[in-house]
Amino acid sequence: MLKFNKSLKTLAVVAAVSALALTGCGRADSSSSSSSSKAGFAQNSLIGVALPQKTSENWVLAEGLFNDGLKNAGFKPDVQFANGGVTDQQNQISSMITKGAKVIIVGAIDGAQLGTQLKQAKDAGATIIAYDRLLLNTPNVDYYVAYDNRKVGQLQGQALLDGMKKKKATGPYNIELFAGSPDDANAKVFFQGAMDVLQPKIDDGTVKIVSGQKSFEQAVTQGWKAENAQKRMDTLLASSYSNTELDGVLSPNDTLARAIITSVKAAGKPIPTVTGQDSEVESVKSIMAGEQYSTINKDTTALVNQAITMVKDLQAGNTPKINDDKQYNNGVKVVPAYLLTPQIVTKENAAQQYANDKTLEPLTK
């Protein structure tokens, strides 16, 4: 027993000594690395791209474009999808910081839930670019690149009115409203943009929402999921349109638009005017076939290229170009933004709109 105690004491001493020995190294002075972006950074630096769940073609497309574009520009890309939700995305951003990313481009699942990681990134000297979706309630976001989403909504609203008018010269028109997922900050902006156009028509009676579900909360589609939109449409048709014509449906994107059309077809109703967004392949086909009325061309390539251009500017030590410094207040600061203009696409102008798109161009013939 005595002998044993002795060896334990030895052990304790060893432990203490080794603890002291560690003191020699101490805390690394990280101030040298955490400098502002003015000086630029190495050409072959790691650039993190954190994208949300793979729920639409655009995100998959963006993944490829970021990988290729950043590689071609000499950077090391690290593109991650957060299929496991917000927590996944938080951990991915943390990993990017660990790996020493100089710029992190964030397409947030929920723009308000990344504050801690963004602060870490900022502390580690990285520049943050919000991609497509704004990062909220945080000072730690440097730039925002996106399409003008209010404009998207307005175009959708106008397209809906135009489309219905083509089929039936005079109103009143019966319509239903669909909005995106409530956790996506853009969803509300789309909806508000559309209502900018639709509200006056509702007020003067030209347009009627038969189900009466006209608030954003009533119109939302959880998780942007097609199945949820289809279920809601089934219900609306059954409850409000057993003997009334449905003239138009405001759909915030293509995936939901197709789900809505599927539902209408299943109910044996004539297909109403349905709007969309994103220029998904299936929807472009649908438009050319005369089913879906419109989509929005927010050329992903242009958006990705814009983000990459910003990265290049930052690498060279230049200030990236912006074209809006007022509109996007994230709750803490006004985020400097570069906005691209969306284009409405219908059967008439599809060929012209997609002239430069290798995938979509053949579909328009």
Query: Which CB, 36 or 170, lies closer to other proteins?
Result: 36
Binding mask 187-226 for other proteins (x = CB under 8 A): ------------------------------x--x-xx---
Residue from 49, 65, 82, 259 binding other proteins (CB under 8 A): 82
Q: What Å distances lie between residue 94 and 49, 115, 252, CA to CA?
A: 12, 12, 32
Sheet arrangement for strand 273-274: 207-209, 173-177, 248-250, 273-274
Enter the DSSP assignment of 185.
H
Binding mask 8-27 for other proteins (x = CB under 8 A): x--xx-xx--xx--xx-xxx
Closer to other proteins at the Cβ: 14 or 355? 14
Supply 340's token pair: 């691209």
Q: For other proteins, give the closer residue by CB, 14 or 281.
A: 14
Three-state secondary-structure class, residue 85 = coil
Q: Which of residues 237-276 bind other proteins (CB under 8 A)?
A: none
State in angstroms the smallest separation of the CB of 139 from other proteins.
Answer: 12
Among 97, 126, 134, 261, binds other proteins (CB under 8 A): 97
Three-state SS for 274?
strand
Closest of 265, 261, 250 to residue 283, by C-alpha: 261
| Residue selected from 55, 58, 90, 277 as contacting other proteins according to rule CB under 8 A | 90
Q: Does 81 bind other proteins (CB under 8 A)?
A: yes
Start-to-end CA distance of the chain, whole Å, equals 91
For other proteins, which stretch binds (CB under 8 A), given 135-143, 155-163, 265-273, 318-326? Answer: 135-143
Cα distances (angstroms) measured from residue 15 to each of 1, 6, 7, 23, 305: 21, 14, 12, 13, 55
- Report the residue number, 3 or 365, with the smaller CB distance to other proteins: 3
Q: Which residue has the tokens 């929807």?
A: 283
Exposed, middle or buried, 67 (CB in 10 Å: 0-12/13-18/19+)?
Answer: middle
- Separation CA 143–CA 338 (nearest Å): 8
Q: Does 304 bind other proteins (CB under 8 A)?
A: no
Smallest gap from Cβ 94 to other proteins, in A, equals 4
One-letter amino acid at 175 equals I
Q: What are phi and psi of 105, to 5 degrees?
A: -100, 120
289 binds other proteins (CB under 8 A): no
Of residues 92, 251, 263, 275, which one binds other proteins by CB under 8 A? 92
Return the residues of window 137-176 that contact other proteins according to CB under 8 A.
Answer: 137-138
Category of 279 on φ-ψ map: left (φ > 0), alpha (ψ -120 to 50) or beta? left
Helix 254-266 and helix 281-288, axial crossing angle in degrees, nearest 10: 50
Here's the x/- map for other proteins, 46-75, by CB under 8 A: it reads as ------------------------------
Q: Which residues make up the interface to other proteins (CB under 8 A)? A: 1, 3-5, 7-8, 11-12, 14-15, 18-19, 22-23, 25-28, 30, 34, 78, 80-88, 90-92, 94-95, 97-99, 109-116, 119-120, 123-124, 136-138, 182-183, 217, 220, 222-223, 331
